[in-house]
Amino acid sequence: MRKEIEGKIYFNAIGFGKIAKFDFMEVQKSLLQDQAEAFYDDLEQKIIDLSVIFRDIKHSLTDVSENATRIMNIIFNHLDSGMFYDCFRTHVQGGNLTVSEAYSKAVHEHFNKDNTALYREIGKDVLLFREYLYDLVSRITLHYEMYVFKRFTERLLTDYIVVVDEFKIEYLDEMSERMKGMICKKAKNLNLVREYSNSFEIPIVIARIDTQASYNAIVDAINQRLIINPEPEDIIEYREILKEQTFLEGEKPRYHSERVKLYAQMVDDRYINRIVFDRWFQGVCPFKSEYMISTNELHLTYDYQYNFFCKTFKEMKNKEFFYRIPDFRHERPTVFLGDVYTDVETYELLAPILDDILLAVARAAKKYDVDIHVIVPMIRMPEEVKFWRDTIKVIFDTAGVFDVKIGIVIETESALEYFEDYPKMDFIIIGLNDLAEEISDEYDRYSPLSKEEFIELFWPDIRELHQHLRSFTMQVKHIVSGNCLTNPWIFKKLINSGFTHFAVPVNQIRKLEKMLEQYENTRGFYIGYAELHKKNEDVIKANQLERERRRILKSKAQALEKYKKAREKRQQIRDEHKEKREIAIQKMLDDRDSREKTEKVEKKKKNPDQK
């Protein structure tokens, strides 16, 4: 029977597939029956891999790195012992505990028994030992759950909507393209759900359902509807809506993409075959590398990164690839790294790990001759650019890639305000998502901006930035990125104003196709069509120089006007502060006089004879 269920759905898209309920114990029992030894071998290997990367992270981030390494080695030696594994297997084979619960119980029993030798070895670092043991074990038990979850999804051969008890970002690690949505009974952090749902382009529902796994489901985030066991007419309707949002492999676009270039945002390799097909996309921009790390710290290793990018670059053919340096921040937490933020200081702390990641990307790009660009996020000061440029260039030179292109993201208020102070880059990304949150208290990156709201919020600033970047002296490629671009009227405003490069979600491309087709039909396909028919190149250059001269004069006039307004504002503030200061001083003097009078009266009362 058809049923609609209430719930909060994130990411403005639609998912359709068969319901697949993840039952940890059921899948675990199946794995133990079919391949018990391989199952245990995989779990034991995870302990080794996690311990190694965990030790490297602690060594990089702690001030007591020698102690950190020593304590980690003690923990690993115990967790890798035959006695511990026997205890762990015994609890698993008891049949009543998940592998995660069995592991936690084995740890508790092993480290809480009378073990004088262990604590003699730990010495004074008992608190550090307990902290590291708890952190590592919590990661191991989570990875065990993710291991069982992946074995479960590998068996699903059709498009599916997975049902889990609680949302965890780790469920999205190496996600199959067949996963079309996720239903979670609960979530500790709804902002995290929204962040990952949008970045991975998958609708996620927070709702309680009790239904058969064999039923189909439609997850409609556009209309906030979750339909269980939909009728045939529901399915037909939603398949038509899906066609209006994105394309299937093999479909060709209606635009020619000679002038306006679209790039696909990417966090994993699910959509690589669609991205490289035909002329839908010019390439990938940006590849948001922090997501593959935040969902699984094992991806921090050189080997994983090299193999992943070799596989990805092999498919890229002649497409451009813009790799973003991991953009760590609180809204996409990396539990194992702590509360880190992408800046020069963090990079220097994690240099042994992050240098390896960049080297892996560089060598994979060299192997497959990919047109590689490296994006530096969250730049606030022009002085930071030199550090990043030197660091990236040295690593890519080491890999034999001598022509790597390096650019920054204009996504902070200070970068937008002082863009003319920044050195010339190979390219610029204009990040509207972060800019919306930096310059406005009313909107965030998910706000469904109208064209009018967009103009009010961004237009004067990004138009001035656009004119600067495309000027005769600069001529820098600049790519506009942001969730608001999926509004076709905002997209139309930008292309009509001369913007030509955009980064958009793969699953929202159809929304822009019609606008781009109309634009090409009215403007022509080719850049500089009129220029191709000019006979005198000197005239063209003279026109360009004259436009640049007028632009410089206009910029100077704007700067002078801006300076005057700022000076007047500062004077106004100083005057206001002066008045407030005088009032405050007068009040202090009045209070003092009043206090002195009161003290005299009190003194007279106590000593009436004293004059």
**One-letter identity of residue 255:** Y
Complete edge-to-edge strand list for the sheet that includes strand 8-10: 3-5, 225-228, 216-220, 14-21, 160-166, 179-186, 204-206, 8-10
Mean pLDDT of 73-91: 90
Look at residue 545 in the predicted model and tell me its pLDDT: 67
Residue 564, helix vs strand vs coil? helix
Residues 6+ apart with CB under 8 A from 593: none
The Cα-based distances of 509 to 141, 195, 262, 524, 588 in angstroms read 39, 20, 9, 21, 65
As to burial, measured by CB atoms within 10 angstroms (0-12 exposed, 13-18 middle, 19+ buried), residue 172 is buried
pLDDT of the residue at 473 = 76
DSSP single-letter state for residue 566? H
Q: Among 14, 33, 30, which Cα is nearest to 22's?
A: 30
- β-pairing, 3-5 vs 477-481, is unpaired
Mean pLDDT for 306-314 is 96
Dihedral of CA 559/560/563/569: which sign?
A: negative
Distances (CA, A) of 602 to 591, 610, 611: 16, 12, 13
Can the peptide bond before residue 286 be classed as cis, meaning omega within 30 degrees of 0? yes
pLDDT tier at 222, thresholds 50, 70, 90: confident
pLDDT over threshold 80, residue 305: yes
pLDDT tens figures, 450-505: 999 999 999 989 999 999 998 877 889 999 999 999 999 999 999 999 999 999 99
The full 3-state SS of 347-390, as one line of letters, equals: HHHCHHHHHHHHHHHHHHHHHHCCEEEEEECCCCCCCHHHHHHH
Task: Give 171's contacts (C-beta < 8 A, 6+ positions apart).
Answer: 146, 149, 162, 164, 182
β-strands 320-324, 371-376: how paired?
parallel
Position 99 pLDDT exceeds 90? yes
Q: Using 50, 70 and 90 to split pLDDT, how confident is the model at 573?
A: low
Looking only at the bridges linking them, the beta strands covering 283-288 and 204-206 are unpaired
Beta strands in 207-330 (DSSP E): 216-220, 225-228, 261-266, 283-288, 320-324
What are 259-295's pLDDT values in tens digits? Answer: 899 999 999 999 999 899 888 999 999 999 999 999 9
On the question of pLDDT at 515 being above 60, the answer is: yes
First-to-last alpha carbon distance for the chain, in angstroms, is 100
| Res 40 pLDDT > 50 | yes
Please state, in angstroms and as integers, the Cα–Cα distance from residue 182 to each residue in 24, 197, 331, 369, following that order: 16, 9, 20, 37
Give CB contacts under 8 A, 24+ apart, made by 400-406. 400/366, 401/362, 401/365, 401/366, 401/372, 404/362, 404/365, 404/372, 404/373, 404/374, 405/372, 405/373, 405/374, 406/373, 406/374, 406/376
Which segment of 14-18, 340-344, 350-354, 554-558 scores lowest on mean pLDDT? 554-558
14 three-class SS: strand
Q: Are strands 283-288 and 320-324 parallel, antiparallel or unpaired?
A: parallel
Q: What would the two tokens of residue 546 be?
A: 């004259």
**Could you tell me if 216 and 229 are in contact, meaning their C-beta atoms sit under 8 angstroms apart?**
yes
d(CA 589, CA 415): 45
Contact 89, 106 (CB under 8 A): no
User: What is the residue-averaged pLDDT of the chain?
Assistant: 86
Task: Convert the pLDDT of each residue in 521-572 to its tens digit.
Answer: 887 654 443 443 343 455 545 655 666 666 666 666 665 666 566 556 655 6
Q: Give Cβ neighbours of residue 36 (< 8 Å, ≥ 6 apart).
A: none
Q: Which of 119, 126, 149 is nearest to 25 (CA)?
A: 149
Name the nearest CA neighbour of 169 among 289, 295, 291. Answer: 295
Conformational region of residue 250, where left means phi above 0, alpha means psi within -120 to 50, and beta covers everything else = left
pLDDT value of position 574: 54
Query: Which residues, 6+ apart, have CB-to-CB distance to 297 below 8 Å?
Result: 50, 53, 54, 57, 139, 334, 336, 337
Residue 88 one-letter amino acid:
F
Pair of tokens at residue 72: 């980690």
> What is the distance of C-alpha 448 from the center of its chain?
19
Residue among 174, 477, 508 nearest 320 (CA): 477
Radius of gyration of the chain (CA): 30
Closest CA to 72 of 141, 144, 137: 137
Residue labelled with tokens 């600069």 = 474
Answer yes or no: are the C-beta atoms of 313 and 370 closer than 8 Å. yes
Give the pTM. 0.83
CA 160 – CA 179 distance, rounded (Å) = 5
